[in-house]
Amino acid sequence: MDLIAAVSHRIVPPDPSIADAVGTRHELATALADLVDNAIDAGARRVHIRFLTRGGALTDLLVMDDGRGMDEAAIDDAMTFARTRAYGDNDLGHYGLGLKAASLSQADALDVCSRAVGGVPVGRRITKDSPSYVETLDPHQVGDALAGPVFRIPGADAPHGTVVHWRGLRTALVSPDPDERTEWLGGRIEEVRDHLGLVFHRILARSRVEIGIDEFDADIGEAGAVRRVRGLDPLAGAVAGVRPIALDGAVDGRPFRLTAVILTESALRDPAVLASARSSTTAGGQGLYVYRRDRLLQIGGWNSVIRGGRNYERLRICLDVDDPLLDFVQINPEKSGVILNATMRRAMREAVSDGGGRSFEDVLGLARSAAAAARRRAKRPIVLVEPRRGLSRQMYDAIGDAVEFSDTDPVYIRWKRLPGTSLVDVDLEGRTLWLNDLYRPALSGSSRPDDAPLLKTLLLLLHSRFFEGSYLGDRERRELGAWDSIIRAALDEELEHRGLRKGRTRE
């Protein structure tokens, strides 16, 4: 049967509901990574993420870069759902949905302000409710905003670049407790730092781009300290004793290479390995680490290549996907995972080392042997009660990386005015380690909920086991009394040395 001829055509614009259909699997960190992709593709040397707060609550988020910027035509293309740009050989973009999908997955409104090299300011706005209704922003106000302190990268003076502005953040914590909001925001920032450090670790290692994060208090018009994103290699490339095993394969005549590592005890404690394990959906972060153009697309998971499990918790395998392999490897729109078709999975299982000395099955055997040996060496874990509030996310992760949290309910570490001169009170019923607010000015000097990390951590280590039971026995009460007496003596001497107390007072 002959092919029926087409007599006309028309371009069908996307329905506004497309905003609900794309980006649904994005989280804050993956959405921001998508915007960093755009900045790198625009030739940016510096990318800056700014969390904007008012009254202590997160209201807006900015992603700023010093790339080549956009003119009227480029920004119109960038804000159109049905149009993708022509990608270069080294570009990280893939589907052309990143800016819109990532932004509207997190915020109700997206503003983009930009200035091309030698060009004039341009700005556009779309909203989640009307993503195909693109508003043109006043160019004079856009220019003023780009020159203002809120839209300026700290220490940068480039007259060109782009600012992506999220307004109406739907994922921000709305708790009325300012301490909870501060703690939540600190945790999100550390999660974003870890994710970006993993995703872009190869690019950061080559110093192609610098990524920073800060908080900007709109009430006082000032930004806090910049937190740099550091590269985190999830395959522990810099850890002594980790030896990569290269396996070569081909699928339909297209070559690829797998690089397998079996993590040592020291590698398991490496910050990058720990961060990737937290970000992965598989135990210990085991599985495939898939890259395209040095950008990490998948953090662990086996994609049905093998079943996985406790015997493979130390095994990680890197796969670099070039464009010819995209017929067999599908990247999800959020760039947070891939799908391998059956042909690719079979080809990976058939990969061998140069000269055929080692096979994929041999690597699996080495991983099983390493896991079995580790179980024989396993020692009794160090257990600590989990601190839920009072410490920063960074400190919480450091504790969690060093010990196992007990099965009991977590404890809170908080300040309040205690009767008498004791520094600490153990409240079992309220699951709280109370610190005497009388000494906060001398020992902390801050009103942050995560203040005095050294003091709080030491007190947590000292008092953790008292929270393991539901009541205090005679010996526990005597121990607490002894600790209290020693702590008060040390506190008196500390205050005396600082000139804050002339004589010692003991009860």
Residue 503 is predicted with a pLDDT of 47
The encoded tokens of residue 390 equal 């009072």
Contact criterion met (CB below 8 Å) for 153 and 66: yes
The pLDDT of residue 303 is above 50: yes
CA–CA separation, 301 and 315 (whole Å): 11
Helix (H) or strand (E) holding 479: helix 474-497
Mean pLDDT on 297-306: 97
pLDDT digits (tens, 9 = 90+) for 155-181: 887 788 999 999 999 989 888 888 888
Residues 6+ away with beta carbon under 8 Å from 8: none
Mean pLDDT on 405-414: 92
Residue 229 is predicted with a pLDDT of 97
Least confidently predicted of 228-232, 256-260, 383-387, 473-477: 473-477
CA–CA separation, 318 and 295 (whole Å): 12
Residue 19 is predicted with a pLDDT of 54
Strand bridging mode 287-292 / 315-320: parallel
Residue 8 is predicted with a pLDDT of 55
Residue 505 is predicted with a pLDDT of 44
Domains of the chain by residue range:
18-228, 245-377, 383-497
Residues 6+ away with beta carbon under 8 Å from 72: 122
pLDDT digits (tens, 9 = 90+) for 378-387: 777 889 999 9
Residue that has been written with the tokens 């302000």 in this structure: 113
- Terminal-residue alpha carbon distance, the chain: 102
Residue 235 is predicted with a pLDDT of 97
Is residue 243 classed exposed, middle or buried when 0-12, 13-18 and 19+ CB atoms within 10 A define those classes? Answer: exposed
pLDDT band at 398 (very low <50, low <70, confident <90, very high): confident
The pLDDT of residue 397 is above 50: yes
Least confidently predicted of 6-10, 115-119, 341-345, 465-469: 6-10
Residue 125 is predicted with a pLDDT of 93
Residue 18 is predicted with a pLDDT of 57
pLDDT digits (tens, 9 = 90+) for 54-104: 988 999 999 999 999 999 999 999 998 755 555 555 656 544 567 999 999
Phi-psi region of 15 (alpha: psi -120 to 50; beta: other; left: phi over 0): beta
Neighbours of 18 (CB within 10 A): 18
Residue 95 is predicted with a pLDDT of 46
The pLDDT of residue 506 is above 50: no
The pLDDT of residue 271 is above 80: yes
CA–CA separation, 272 and 204 (whole Å): 14
Average pLDDT of the chain to the nearest whole number: 89
Contact criterion met (CB below 8 Å) for 132 and 54: no
Least confidently predicted of 80-89, 182-191, 407-416, 428-437: 80-89
DSSP symbol at 359: B
The predicted model scores a pTM of: 0.78
Q: Quick one: CATH architecture of 18-228?
A: 2-Layer Sandwich (3.30)
Mean pLDDT on 461-489: 90
SS3 at position 211: strand
Least confidently predicted of 22-26, 135-139, 224-228, 492-496: 22-26
